[in-house]
Each structure stands twice: as structure tokens, then as C-alpha cells.
Structure 1
């Protein structure tokens, strides 16, 4: 539970390299997320190239932390074979990202989840930057690195937001 309680969005990073082994740990965690009908629509594009990170920052105003982050992971959804009329794949993608965030926190890394989907004005240029095939949609940009700040942990549990049986 401490990984859940202590996880915070990190927007400042140290100049340290995230290893390939750490990246694989994050991606393994992502792929163990629950998925409706075991669809597993996810693919992940790992971006370390500084020029590409800079291009992403130019099209997505809320990704400025990529200036210091070691890398970005871009979770993408292959919607060409989704089940259930394509209703649940966004939930699958969100679950995979949450697993990345929690795993990163558990191994001493910081992350920041920057939404992309369903904003076409972000999806189209990002798809072009990372050369996505038709039917594959970028869902988010996740900055990853060693935290140079400590997010403030506070009690988020609000009893007044819990309802039993009825509202």
C-alpha cells in the first residue's frame, strides 16, 4: 500500500540514466494490468532521444518535464482488433499506465502521466512524431526519471465520498 500512498507526479528530475533493466521492469508491470476480455491492446514506445523529446514538448504543452526526464514511455492502443465495440480499451490503457507509475515508485523512479487521448490535436502530431501505424493511437506520455523533488503526500481518503447501497 505504501507504493500507492507515496506515489506522486514528479516534474523535476536528476541527470541520471534510467537503465534498460529498469525500463523493462516498468513495461512488464504495464503488461500485467487487467484488461477487458484479456484484450491487451497496449504497445509502448520508449523515447530516449533528446531531439524527439523536444519535439514532443513543442506539441504537448504539459510535457515540459521531459526537458529533465531520462525518457518518455508512450503507451499506445492498437484498436484494430478490440472487442466490445471498442468501449473498454481506454480503461485497459489507464490500468497499464497506473502499473508503470506504481512500479516506478517502487524502484526509486519518478513519473508524470500526461494525457493525450482523446485530444486529436495531440494525438495526430504525436502519432506522426513516433510514426504510428493506422489503427494505433497514442494514449499518453509518461515522463520517467530519478526524482529531483519529493511530491507532497497527504491523506486523500475522504469519508464523505463513500456511499453504501445508494447515493
Structure 2
């Protein structure tokens, strides 16, 4: 699938089969995520691959919007590492670019995925950090819940010309 097709047809999938995602596919997704641009090439991301059912069930309780993690075979927590930042505050932008790459790679591999935010909700960030035993300099940004899709959502054209201006407001 070419990149424009992937962008146009990717949807947030929240229902998954129980089929496991292969280690090879997980590595492909992480390579795609780590190919993202970052400020000063700082690459401040850290990833926690979660495939243990007990940990997935705990992940599902981090936020009311991550409940589908309990029934998924895989989640990837994306975190920003402030110790490697060259330009403070850009970790969130950099990790968001990595997440978008990961989502598109998952779609191109025939997987479904949904981006579930943690940051900036401090209670969710703290609970996620505790769940994966992350150090204080690492900030949990989001959980990407993944798996083989058990729903078929049709693409939507979201282009809205009223949101576009030329040269000035």
C-alpha cells in the first residue's frame, strides 16, 4: 500500500481478534516509529511492548479510553525521555510523529490500531509510569492498542476546505 492510500484509509480500530502479532511485525512497527523526524534528531522516544495478558488488563485501567487493551493481543506504550532532549518540550511532538508512523505501519501490515492518550493527564501519566516501572525522566505519552482487526471501518474523506486559508487568516 502506498503512503497516500495508507493515510486515506487508516481508521482507529478498537476491536481485535485474539491472534498474536508476530515479533517480526512488532519490530517492523518499531522501526517505522523510530524513523520519524525529531527536533535536532534527538529521538527522545522510549517504547514498552506489552503482550502479557495481565499487564494488558492493567493497561486497560489507565484511562476510560483504553479499555479495549484488555481484549487486545498487544499494546505499545510510547514515552518521551527528557534526558535526551536537545530542545526542551519537543519530546511530545517527536513522539507524536513516531506514533503516526507506527499507526500507518500497522495499517500497512493489515493490523488495526488506536492511539490512546495519557499525557497531559497527570494521574494517567503517574499510573502508567508506575505500571511499567519507568524512571521519572520518562513521560508516558500514549498507549497504542494493536492487533488483527475484528471490525471493518470504511475510509472517510475528512477534507474540509473551510479550514484552509492562503497566505493570511
- TM-score range normalised by the length of the shorter chain: over 0.9
Residue in 2 that maps onto 1:77: 80
8 Å Cα contact 2:59-2:70 kept in structure 1: no
Match of 2:49 among 39, 46, 55: 46
Distance, in Å, in 2 between the alignment partners of 1:82 and 1:15 is: 38
8 Å Cα contact 2:78-2:95 kept in structure 1: yes
RMSD: 0.9
Provide, for residues 97-136 of structure 1, a one-character-per-residue CA deviation record: whole Å limited to 9, x for no partner.
Answer: 0000000000100001000111111000110010001201
Distance, in Å, in 1 between the alignment partners of 2:103 and 2:59 is: 20
Alignment gaps of 5+ in structure 1:
none
Q: Deviation at 1:87?
A: 2.4
Distance, in Å, in 2 between the alignment partners of 1:87 and 1:133 is: 18
Distance, in Å, in 1 between the alignment partners of 2:154 and 2:65 is: 20
Distance, in Å, in 2 between the alignment partners of 1:128 and 1:89 is: 20
Residue in 2 that maps onto 1:130: 132
Displaced runs of 4 or more, over 6 A: none
1:6-155 aligned within 5 A: 6-84=9-87, 86-155=88-157
TM-score, with structure 2 as normaliser: 0.95
Residue in 1 that maps onto 2:161: 159
Q: Deviation at 1:57?
A: 1.4
Distance, in Å, in 2 between the alignment partners of 1:40 and 1:120 is: 23
Alignment gaps of 5+ in structure 2:
none
Q: Deviation at 1:59?
A: 2.6
Residue in 1 that maps onto 2:8: 5
